[in-house]
């Protein structure tokens, strides 16, 4: 029996029962439970560093666009809660655009992305230019997916769009997973200085390796330059 167990087991089991009931619903349909998890479960397990979708956006990315990305994520949760997983990405994209427009936000769908190489525009040479799924308020790129797993190429593609448009923040939303929380990826178009600073904080060993490689590359370039000058000296 539940109440014959030690108090600490009851404290952990009761929130889990609540989450399971909300997750499966009366008709057994799976839906999103991020909001329930935030108020019923994460306070015990993730206090101070919780990553629950809905109010975690400012913690995941603390920048000027954090409020906007938080709004986009909340709308995406509502879409996933309504549909669940299993539809094509066009359905999720259309529904998300509708939710965002209901809030009065500027939304552009399937916007052509310019392809710039060293100042040269290559867009006109491509009959099928790359298109961004959703651009919100001319500030945040949103890529919608509906696949059973997250792939690195999703973030790489979104980062390329950010660079081409000279924007800062993007979101990859994979609606093909049982919970949207697992399918949300923030993409930040970092400068080299920001990347090294973050690497120094989060992965000191990798940071030292990167710095050593850069120093070796600079040293080799210097040696090549000295050899060329020596060879051209009469």
**127, part of any domain:** yes
pLDDT attached to residue 95:
97
Is residue 68 located within the same domain as residue 169? Answer: yes
H/E element, 186: strand 184-188
Are β-strands 169-174 and 140-145 bridged in parallel, bridged antiparallel, or unpaired? parallel
pLDDT given at position 20: 44
Question: Which residues of the chain fall short of a pLDDT of 70?
Answer: 1-62, 125-129, 222-234
The answer to whether residues 171 and 143 touch, using CB atoms and an 8 Å cutoff, is yes
CA distance 88 to 63: 32
Give the pLDDT confidence score for residue 61 in this predicted structure.
59
pLDDT at 64: 82
Flag whether 219 is in a domain: no
Q: What is the pLDDT of residue 49?
A: 32
**Are 73 and 180 found together in one domain?**
yes
The pLDDT score that the predictor gives to residue 220 is: 76
Q: What is the pLDDT of residue 155?
A: 92
Considering the domain architecture, whether residues 48 and 63 belong to the same structural domain is answered as no
Question: Last residue of some domain: 52, 68, 89?
Answer: 52
Residue 141 lies in a domain: yes
Q: Taking each helix axis as running N to C, give the angle between helix 66-83 and helix 89-102, from 0 to 180 degrees, rounded to the nearest 10.
A: 130
Asked whether residue 96 is assigned to any structural domain, the reply reads yes
Specify if 220 maps to a domain.
no
Q: Are 76 and 38 within one domain?
A: no
Q: Is residue 24 located within the same domain as residue 91? A: no
pLDDT value of position 58: 34
Q: Is 142 helix (H, G, I), strand (E, B) or coil?
A: strand
Pairing relationship of beta strands 184-188 and 169-174 according to DSSP bridges:
antiparallel
Q: Are residues 130 and 156 in the same domain?
A: yes
pLDDT (0 to 100) of residue 51 = 33
Q: Are residues 61 and 168 in the same domain?
A: yes
Instruction: Please check whether residue 61 lies inside any domain of the structure.
Output: yes
Shared domain check, 109 and 142: yes
- What are 156-176's pLDDT values in tens digits? 999 999 998 999 999 999 999
Q: In terms of domains, do 37 and 83 share one?
A: no
Q: Give the per-residue pLDDT at 223.
A: 59
Q: What is the pLDDT of residue 29?
A: 39
The boundaries of the domain holding residue 185 are 56-189
Number of domains in the chain: 2
Task: Return the pLDDT at 70.
Answer: 94
223 within some domain: no
Please give the pLDDT value at position 138: 94
Q: What pLDDT, on the 0 to 100 scale, is given for residue 128? A: 57
In the prediction, which pLDDT does 112 show? 87
Q: Are residues 30 and 60 in the same domain?
A: no
């Amino acid at each position: 029996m539940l109440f014959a167990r030690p108090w600490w087991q009851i404290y952990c089991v009761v929130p889990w029962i609540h989450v399971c009931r909300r997750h499966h619903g009366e008709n057994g349909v799976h839906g999103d439970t991020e909001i329930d998890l935030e108020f019923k479960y994460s306070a015990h397990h993730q206090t101070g560093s919780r990553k629950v979708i809905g109010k975690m956006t400012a913690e995941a990315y603390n920048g000027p666009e954090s409020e906007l990305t938080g709004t986009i994520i909340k709308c995406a949760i509502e879409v996933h809660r309504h549909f669940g997983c299993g539809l094509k990405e066009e359905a999720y994209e259309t529904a998300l655009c509708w939710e965002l427009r209901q809030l009065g936000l500027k939304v552009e769908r399937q916007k052509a992305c310019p392809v710039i190489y060293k100042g040269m525009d290559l867009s006109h040479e491509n009959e099928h230019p790359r298109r961004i799924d959703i651009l919100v308020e001319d500030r945040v790129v949103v890529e919608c997916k509906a696949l059973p797993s997250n792939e690195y190429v999703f973030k790489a593609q979104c980062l390329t769009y950010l660079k081409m448009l000279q924007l800062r923040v993007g979101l990859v939303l994979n609606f093909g997973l049982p919970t949207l929380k697992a399918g949300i990826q923030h993409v930040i178009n970092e400068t080299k200085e920001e990347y090294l600073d973050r690497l120094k904080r989060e992965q000191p060993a990798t940071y030292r390796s990167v710095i050593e490689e850069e120093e070796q590359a600079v040293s080799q370039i210097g040696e090549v330059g000295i050899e060329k000058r020596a060879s051209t000296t009469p």
